[in-house]
Structure 1
Amino acid sequence: MSSRRKTRRGIGALFVITALLAGALAFWAFDRYHGFADTPVAGLEQGASITIERGDSFNTVLRKLREAGARGGHDLEWRLLARQMGAAGRIQVGEYALAPGITPRRLLADLRDGKVVSHRFTIVEGWNVRELRAALARAEPLLQETADMDDAALMAALGHAGVHPEGRFLPETYHYTRGDSDLDLLRRAYDAMDAALERAWASRAPGLPLASAEEALVLASIVEKETGVPEERPRIAGVFVRRLQKGMKLQTDPTVIYGMGEAYQGNIRRADLRTDTPYNTYTRTGLPPTPIAMPGADALHAATHPDDGDALYFVAVGDGSGRHVFSRTLAEHQAAVRAYLRNYRARRDAR
C-alpha cells in the first residue's frame, strides 16, 4: 500500500475520531447545561434573598447570588441560560427570594418577570393613630419617611392638611415591596378608608341621626372599641343611634379613655368619668369631635346599618366571652351591671 493511501486512511480515521469526540463533548455539554438549569441551586438557606438595584449588570447579579450563598454552575452556564430565556438585559429591580430548592431556570424567570418579595403589614381594627405609627416604625424593610413628622405634618404630606388622622386608615393587610415607605402605605390605607366610608354612607339606612359620613366614621370607631364580637356590632350601633335620637348621653368608656390620652393607666376611676374633656361622653351629649380608633369595614357597616330594637343600655357579661347584655330600661341595666360584677369577681378570685 502506498504511503499516500495510508496517509489518507489515517486522516480519515482521525476525522472520525475527532467527530466522535466532538459529538460526545457536545452531548456532555448539552446534558450538563440542562442538568444545571433544572437542578436546585445549592447553598441557599431559608430566608435568603437578593436585591437588584437599578444599573446592576448581569455580572453584578451573579456576584450577589454568590454572596447570598449560591453554589454550583459556571458563570457561562448562567449567561447562556439567561440568553435562552430572554432574561439577559431584562432583569427587573427589586428584592427576590432565594428559597431552598429554587432552580436557576425558576430564579431567572422570577428576575425577568419581576416576581419580587411581597411583605405584609396589618392595620389592626381598633388601633388608634399612636399605635398605628408605633407599629409602622417597627415594620421592616419599610422605609421610614414619617418618623420626624407630627400628626399635622403627616396629614399634610399625605395631601390632607388639616384633617385629623384618627380613624382615617382602614384596618386590613397591606402588601408592599422593598423600597416602599410608611408614607406610601398610609396613603393607600387612607384611600381605602375613604372608599369604604363612601360605600357605607351611600347605602346607609334612612333616618339616622348622623349629619355626615364623618359622623358615621366617629360612631363606627366607638362601635369598634366597644365590642370584639362581630355579630354584636349592629346591636351596639343601634343602642347609640337610639341614644342620639333621644338626646341621651352616649356614656361610653372608650371615648373617656381616648380623651385621657397617655394619662390612662388601665383603669377608669369615677373622677375620670366626671372630668370634662371633648371626648367625655358622660359629661357631654352627642358624638365626640373625632374618631377614637380605626374602625374596620364591619364597624362602618354597623354604624350605617344599625339593628332595630328598643335597647338603650348594654354591659359586658363578665364571663370572659366579650359578649354583652342589652337592656331596655335603667332598672334592667342596673341588674345586669350587678350580674357583671358578680361574674367579674368570681373569675378574679378563681385565678
Structure 2
Amino acid sequence: MAFLKSWLHGRVDTAIRDSVDSKDVVEAVYRELFEDYATVLRFAWFGSVLFQVAEARRQGVRPGFIPGWRGVAPEMVKRVLREELRVTKKDGKDTVTAGIDDVVSRVTGRLGTFIPAVQRQMVGDSMNVSVADVEKVNQHREQYGHPLTGFVEDAQNTKTPLGRVFSENKDLRDEFERMKRDWRESVKASPDGMLRSDDDGLDDEDLEILGKQQRALYEAEIDLGMRESMPEGTNKDFAYRNVAWARVAVGSYTCGFCLMLCSRGAIYRSDTVLSAKNRARKGGTQFEGRWNLNAYHEHCDCMMVPVFSWRKFAGKEVMDGARKLWKQFSKDVKNKNGEWGNGALTASWFSEWLKAHPEQVAEMPTFDLGKGRPRK
C-alpha cells in the first residue's frame, strides 16, 4: 500500500505547515493529523484482511479467523511528534528548530512504519489465536457486528471520521472502490470454498466456535451485498485455519540470502517468516525492511503470505523458481568443487553464483505485488 504512505506524507506536510506558528505545535499537529492517521492504519488493516480472504479463496479454502483492527493510541502519535518535531520554547512559544521539509520527512517515516506493522499484526492475529479467544470475539461481534461491515459502513458515512476523510480524498475513495470490486470478484470465483480434510483434533464445541466465526464473515458479506446466500456446510467444514507461512521474493531483484530462504517454501511461523529473531535476541543489529522492523537486511522487501494448501499459494511459482536456482547451485557446487565456495552451500556463494548465471535468474518468475500473481 505505497499510496497510503504517499498520502500520509501529504497530510503530515499540511498539518505541520498549518501548525508551525501555534503556541503548542505538537498539540496543534496532533489535532489536525490524528483522524487522518487513524484512517490510514485502519485502511491498512482492511487491505490486509481482504488480501488474506482473497488468498484463501484463491487457494480453494475458507478464509478462517478475521481479527479486528486494534486501533491507534493517541499517546503514541504524540510521542512521535514530540521526538521528531524537536521544538524549543522561545518567549513562551514553541519553535521548530529544523527545516520543515526535514521534519515532515522524519515524522512521515516514523508514522509510516506502523502501516506494515498493522498488516503484520493482522496476519499474525489470524493465525496465533486460541479457540477461547475466538469465542470471546464471537460474543463481541454478536453484539457490535463484524469489523468488515463496520469499516464499509463507516467509509460510506460522512459523519464518521473514516467517512469524512474518504469524502475529501478521491484517491482513497477510488482505492476503496477497487478493493470492494476485487472482494466481490473473489466471492464470485469461489462462493463456497473447499471443505476441511481434518479437524486438528478439535472437539465438537471447538468446531462450533470456529464454525460460528467463519459464518460471521459470510453474514457480513451478505449484509454488504457481496454474496447472496450462506454456503452450506457443517461446523467441521467451516473451521479452517491456515497451516503455515511462506516467504516470497518481491520485485525484479532479490539477494541470494533471501532467495535461499524463499526456496525453503511454506515452513515458517508468523514470527519467523520475515524476522531475524535470533539476532534480535542476541542484541545484534536490527534492520528495517519494507514490511517489518527486524528484517534480515536493510530495505528487505520480501513478503509473508498465508498458506492454506501446500500445493497452491500466492508466490508458489516464485518459490519454485528460487528452489530450482538453489538446486542448480547445489549441483554445481558438488560438480565443481573449488570454483563455487569449495563445496560450501552458503548464501554468500549463492549470491556469487547468481551473478555468474544471469540467464538462469532471468527465467525465474517475479511476484506482482498488486495482484498477488507471478509474472515473467
Structure 1 length-normalised TM: 0.25
More helix by share: 2
Higher RCO by CA contacts (8 Å cutoff, separation 6 or greater):
2
**Bigger Rg, structure 1 or 2:** 1
Structure 2 length-normalised TM: 0.24
